[in-house]
Each structure stands twice: as C-alpha cells, then as structure tokens.
Amino acid sequence: MENANLLAIAKEFGSPVYVYDSSTIVSQYERLTNAFKQVKHVKLNYAVKALSNLAILKLMNSLGAGLDTVSIQEVKLGLLAGVAPNNIIFTPNGVSLAEIEKVSEMGVQINIDNLSILEQFGTKHPDVPVCIRINPHVMAGGNSNISVGHIDSKFGISIHQIPHILRIVENTGMNINGIHMHTGSDILDIDVFLYASEILFETAKNFKNLDFIDFGSGFKVPYKEGDIETNIEEFGQKLTKRFNDFCKEYGKELILGFEPGKFLVSEAGYFLAEVNVVKQTTSTVFAGIDSGFNHLIRPMLYNSYHGIINISNPKGRERFYSVVGYICETDTFATNRRISEITEGDIIAFKNAGAYCFSMASNYNSRFRPAEVLWHNNEAHLIRKRETFEDLTKNQVDVDIFTKVTEPAS
C-alpha cells in the first residue's frame, strides 16, 4: 500500500483505524506453501488469535487454509465465516472438559495438552480422534514471553511424560490421530526448530494410526530494516526432506501441518493514528496521538518494535520523537525514534500491525475500539465499525438500588 492510500483511508474512516492489505496476506500464504511444495500433503491452519475478523477468516478459507483455534468462541467465528468443521483444529490451554466436549460435538479436530483432560476425554469418548500437544522442552524463540516450548511452560505435555500418555491411550483405547508441538514465536535458528522436530518425530513413532504431524509455527517476521527473519525457503527445504523420509519410515503419507498467524498477517497490517499534540520538554519531544495501549498494547506488553512513519510528511526533515498515547498511564509506543518532522494533525502509521494488535485491544479508559479496514483489489472495505458510546454500555445493567443521601435537617 502507498501513503496516499493510507491517508485516504484515514480521511474516509477516521482515526485511529487498522488497515490490512489482502495482497500481502496472499503473498505470505503462497510463500509458505511454495516452501513445502515437495510434500504431498500440507495443511496450513491460520492461528485465529492473531487477527480474528470474519473478513480475514473468509480470506483464509478462500486460500484453502484451515483454522487453528484456542477457544470455543474462535471455533464459532470460524464456522460463521464458512470454514468446514474438519478444517478447524481446537488447541486450547487450561479450558474445562465441558468446553472441549462442546467443540468436539461440532466436528472439530481436538488437540489436548495435559494428562488429566486426556484421560477424562479418552475415557468418555474413546472413538473421537484426538491430537496430543507435546512440549519438546526447546526454546526456539528469542523472547521468553512468547516462547512456549521451554521446560517451565504451561503448554503441552512434557516429552518426559510419554510413558504416562501411552498408558492412558492403552487403558482408554482412544484414537490418537495427530501429534503437535509449538515452540513459540520469533524462531531465530532453523536448526533449533529442526532439533525440536526430531523430538516430535521420535514421539510420533509411538502412535501407529496418525494422520498428521503439526509443527506449530512461530516464524519470525522482520520489524525493521535489516532485521532477522526466519528463512522459510531454507527451512522448507530441510524439513521437507526429513518429513518425507519419516513418512517412508512410518509407512504412510502423513499430513504436514503448520499453524501460522503472525507470519501471514503481521506485515499486512497498518495502524493509523492522528497526532493530537507535539509537546517539548527540557529533554524530549513527545508526539501524542489519538490512541494508546488500549489499541496497540504490544510495545508496552512485550517491548515490541513497530516501525513508525509520518505518512503526512514522509520526506520531511527527521527529528527524534517519543511517540505516546492518551491513556492516563505510562503509554509509550517508541522512545527517541527518528521520524520525519511531525506537526499536530499529521497521520502516522505503525507497521507490522496485523498480528496481535486489534485482537488485544480493549476499552480501557472507556475509549472506543477502532475501526478495521481491508484493502482488497485496490479498494478499501470497512470490515469493523468504530465503536460508539452505546457499545460501551449495552451490556451493563442499570440497577436502581441506591438511595440518595440527604443532609439531615438543621
């Protein structure tokens, strides 16, 4: 997308506003599928938690992707978007047996990540196909907050508990049709991921009727010029050879599964905000915008980097700004960032705003969540209206239980 397109969207739909470029999503999907074109059966299940707008789910469905879901609500969104139940996998963490059973009744693939629920579900529903999530005890990402494969993670069943899994499967007679792992986001070293994959292959040998092996995702995307990113092509080449060899050893053509989220949508997203005020202190120039961590929490929560450009003055003289929000707390997007000169009323754009941005937005400070726009075939389509005051209050119950306190008569 060009600056002129983004400025036109901000003018038409107001700010702040999220914008997603469908062509980037399609390009990333094709890049990943092409990297594994030598595998007979590949299944990409888009991680709904990254960006759950129905329009995005419909786009993924049109590309042939399935969905990776973590809540019954995400499952229902997928079904509402027209995704077939057998193209949805349910990979929750810490949910009740009742929720898993409700999702199972919908015909969705179940993925279980703890021994307790595995035994309970297998005892009650031995004929329902179940995938098992393994924790390989490998930390493939660089950020401990988003790495979920390490030994202290709450996710997955430890590889050291394989004997317990096998005992449960034998005692219940349950049907295990898949093995899964997810090491976490921002995979930096392909060889570390391949090492974790070997653990998954060894685990898979314990189960004789598998249909698929799901390697999770967590591919790193670049956030700034010269940034490290996962070399998908090299990764595809190396894992393809190993996977095909394993299928020969196993005696069956299995499905190679992934669940990309950030990789597909991160770079497709822009977050546009208007500059309310430029404020100079004795040491800092602040650019205060009409948004805050209620709309984009990643910089405050994960110390994440998002490129920031002044699309109203992209070729202006660069100065150093600390970009801050309007929330009544420390609310910083960037500190002393070099940006083209900013004046009040300018529109700035945050890059890499497609994944885990709107989906983590809130109404903190009673602010409205922003609109969402999809840029598709060179046209802007509103895919979520901006919230209104009525949206803030529609679920609140007005109770008349308070008695007005009056001053006693003198």
Active-site residues, by number, are: 328
Give the alpha-carbon dihedral of 99, 101, 107, 109, to 10 degrees.
Answer: 80
Look up tokens 């095909």; give the residue: 244
Look up tokens 């062509």; give the residue: 23
Cα–Cα distance, 176 to 205 (Å, whole number) = 12
Q: Provide DSSP, 367-391.
A: PPPPEEEEEETTEEEEEEPPP-HHH
Contact 260, 217 (CB under 8 A): yes
Residues 6+ apart with CB under 8 A from 132: 111, 112, 113, 118, 157, 165, 176, 178, 179, 180
Cα–Cα distance, 296 to 75 (Å, whole number) = 25
Q: What is the DSSP letter of 141?
A: B
Look up residue 353 and give its amino acid.
Answer: A
Closest CA to 195 of 213, 215, 214: 215
Determine the distance from the C-alpha atom of residue 164 to the mean position of all C-alpha atoms in its chain, rounded to a whole number. 31
